[in-house]
Structure 1
Amino acid sequence: MAQSISDLQEGRKVVGDCGSDFSPPKWLEMPKYKRGQELLKENIFATLFCHVGGLIMLVNVPSIYKLLDNTGNSRSLVSCFQRYLKTLTHVKSWYETDIFDASSEGMMILHPNVLGFSHLSRQDKEAVAHCWRCIGYQLGIDDKYNLFGSDNLHTIEKLCQNIEAEVFRPNLTANYLGGLRMGKTILESIRNIVHGLTYHGFMKFWSEVIGVRYLVRLSAGDWLSYVLISVVFRGRMFSMFPLRNGFNRLVLWAIERASLRAMTIYKDLCVRDNKGGVEVSACPFAKFHDYL
């Protein structure tokens, strides 16, 4: 099992699919897996929010960016919308179906209090980690390179801290314009699924979560987006079941509605792509100590 970030990095030189099939692994604890899956389903709004935030930060890692760029599915607003609407629908199915029937997750483990998971106990977090270990297994990730491959939650938390410090922060502040542009394109496309988000408001929130400074002057709309996100997540709203359930229903409805309106959205995004898509003039991130 991975004990350090260097253990995980060894996996970059290994064939991606370890050859796992639909048979449950020997280490599977079915009650723990089911509990983790149920918790993720009960917190689907916050879970998908973490997935999107982790993805947008991850594309600033050059090796990840090049991989996604080569697919051609993340270069334009239209292709991003098509790809990530399907991805959100697919990820949602992980938490609604039996994955043994024939990307970012570490953020909610690392920052539960500001990402809508303050109500989860340590036992709940262990169940969530076990569920993700099972999902990783089904995706073909060898346990040796699975971020959630350990049975020890402290080891997983330490790995997540190292990834944040050694991968996310340095790459966000490296002024990698290709990754920044792709991240903005992804969020601009997702705004057609979840309305009310703005790129700068969204990224200001996430920059504070991981401890980097956001340099862009926010517009009134950006501030509104940032404040709404902050109130929802930092205000501990998700610790109250009626509110949590309401947000869950809202995001599921939004995904379904976007699927039904896909052709109309495609046309609108095609117009924006033809006008140049999104632009990023400079890196908006900086380490906090650079400005002290």
Structure 2
Amino acid sequence: MNGVKSSVAVNQHSCHVRNGSITEGRQKEVISPEDINRGILPDTTAPVSSRMQELLEGLNEPGDCGNPIEPPSWLDRQLFNRGRDFYHRYLFCMSFSEVLALVFMLSMMRALRPLMYTGRSDSPRKALRRYFSTFQHVTAWHEGDVWDPADRAHKDLLSVRAIHNRLSGVFNSSKEHDRVWNTKIQDKGHEEPACPFYHTIREDLKDQAGDGLPLEGPDNPPFFISQWDMSLTQYQFMGLVVAHPHKMGAGAATDEDLEGLVHFWRGLGWLLGVDDKYNFCRGSLAEVRSLCLEVERLVGIPALAKADWNYEHMTLSLVTGLSHLMHTLSFEAGFRYVAYTLDLDIPNFISRMSMQGTIKYWLMRFAIGLLYYFPGLVIRLSRMLRVATAVFQKRYANGMNERGGSKTGELYPVTTPFTY
């Protein structure tokens, strides 16, 4: 997008604020334990928090603010490493939550349309290759030392940051912006089937979602890969675990563990170019948890209630592809688990589920429930996931390269909040 177009978008968003869609001066509310377990805000009709207002100011700010690669003054190395250790021990839970976050947040058009436009994840095979690469990125970041310039993890993270900048320039250019924003999955040859699920999703959620926040519209086009988008990327990687630890299999984690996870992603956000003002993980555990729940209620769920064939096809491709690694995954089971996590009532969707989808959903519930009573299992499951992914990488790497995948050792970018 050119500079004039960007400034217009900024001014239009400011009008949203002045017209009262966003109430100023609201203090951060601390969510009660009961509401945390239910996954809801105490008053879903309340104005947005001051912290959310702050994040919204980044809607039209470029995603890389130019942070230096040196550690910021607020970095607590001990707490950061505690987050790395948590990620290592709870890798199974983190991976599970990241997949569910995609099922949830792919409904956001400002994130989904660039994915459709690039055409690199609109089939199960392509989606598997793309999101498996994302897994490799994040694994490298928590297993290496991102603060050491000589470490592979540091170099990999900075390469992702550079790719973000390049893609932002492409998507926001005067030549490509309108094409990206107006793309549809039918343009890629994926016609809508006779009985899709998205009509059912809309029917179930129409009275539970609300209007949501006015993030973009015909007269207020999005700035792709903005500070806001990068902030939601952080939510996608840690938000469900922080806001709903029991439902993600991390019920045995302590507050200190989760504080480490939050600080870990605050540090990664800094290195990816997220201004600390817009860093989703800035603040105490209670504040970040409240922000997670607020994003879910005021951004994610309203977007999900407007699901269409674009969302359903891309999510179906994602989950079908990843089911080669996590065999209990399916679109039906994954969506129902998201609804369970967010305390959403979806009777019509459940009535349409296949027997196989229902069985997979209850297998998820059973497995995650076991982790609460037998927390030692999560270490074994995380180890099994590492072995499975190593086998997968070795088995399919050459085939991917032959079919036009990445060169050996080259990974796809982790972007906002998904991979393009």
Q: How does the TM-score come out when normalised to structure 2?
A: 0.60
* Match status 1:201 vs 2:327: no
Distance 2:309 2:52 in 1: 25
After the TM superposition, which residues 69-108 of structure 1 pair with which residues of structure 2 at under 5 Å, given as runs? 69-102=116-149, 103=233, 104=236, 105-108=238-241
| Counterpart in the other structure of 1:220 | 355
For the structure 1 residues 120 and 228, does the alpha-carbon distance in structure 2 shift closer, same or farther, using more than 3 Å as the test? same
Indicate which of 244, 247, 260 corresponds to 1:111: 244
| Counterpart in the other structure of 1:280 | none
Shift of 1:76: 2.2
Shift of 1:5: 2.0
* Match status 1:181 vs 2:181: no
Distance 2:354 2:61 in 1: 45
Shift of 1:3: 4.4
| Counterpart in the other structure of 2:166 | none
Distance 2:51 2:73 in 1: 24
The higher radius of gyration belongs to 2
Shift of 1:129: 0.6
- Assess if the C-alpha contact under 8 Å between 1:18 and 1:140 holds in 2: yes
Structure 2: which 5+ runs fail to align? 1-48, 150-232, 404-420
Distance 1:182 1:238 in 2: 35
Distance 1:224 1:17 in 2: 43
Secondary structure (helix, strand or coil) at the match of 2:143 reads coil
After the TM superposition, which residues 208-247 of structure 1 pair with which residues of structure 2 at under 5 Å, given as runs? 208-214=340-346, 215-216=349-350, 217-237=352-372, 239-241=374-376, 243-247=377-381
Distance 1:123 1:182 in 2: 36
Shift of 1:19: 1.5
- Assess if the C-alpha contact under 8 Å between 1:111 and 1:209 holds in 2: yes
Shift of 1:265: 7.7
Distance 1:22 1:255 in 2: 30
* Match status 1:136 vs 2:269: yes
Superposed CA deviations along residues 138-168 of structure 1, whole A, max 9, x for unmatched, are 1111111111022x22211111111010112
Distance 2:253 2:367 in 1: 17
Secondary structure (helix, strand or coil) at the match of 1:13 reads coil
| Counterpart in the other structure of 1:283 | none
- Assess if the C-alpha contact under 8 Å between 2:329 and 2:360 holds in 1: yes
- Assess if the C-alpha contact under 8 Å between 1:237 and 1:244 holds in 2: no
Percentage of identical aligned residues: 25
Superposed CA deviations along residues 103-127 of structure 1, whole A, max 9, x for unmatched, are 3111111001111111111122111
Q: How many residues align?
A: 267
Structure 1: which 5+ runs fail to align? 270-292
User: Which has a greater percent of helix?
Assistant: 1
For the structure 1 residues 176 and 147, does the alpha-carbon distance in structure 2 shift closer, same or farther, using more than 3 Å as the test? same
Q: CA RMSD in A?
A: 2.3
For the structure 1 residues 26 and 129, does the alpha-carbon distance in structure 2 shift closer, same or farther, using more than 3 Å as the test? same
Q: How does the TM-score come out when normalised to structure 1?
A: 0.85
After the TM superposition, which residues 15-164 of structure 1 pair with which residues of structure 2 at under 5 Å, given as runs? 15-102=62-149, 103=233, 104=236, 105-150=238-283, 152-164=284-296
| Counterpart in the other structure of 1:248 | 382
Distance 1:57 1:118 in 2: 21
Distance 2:273 2:371 in 1: 35
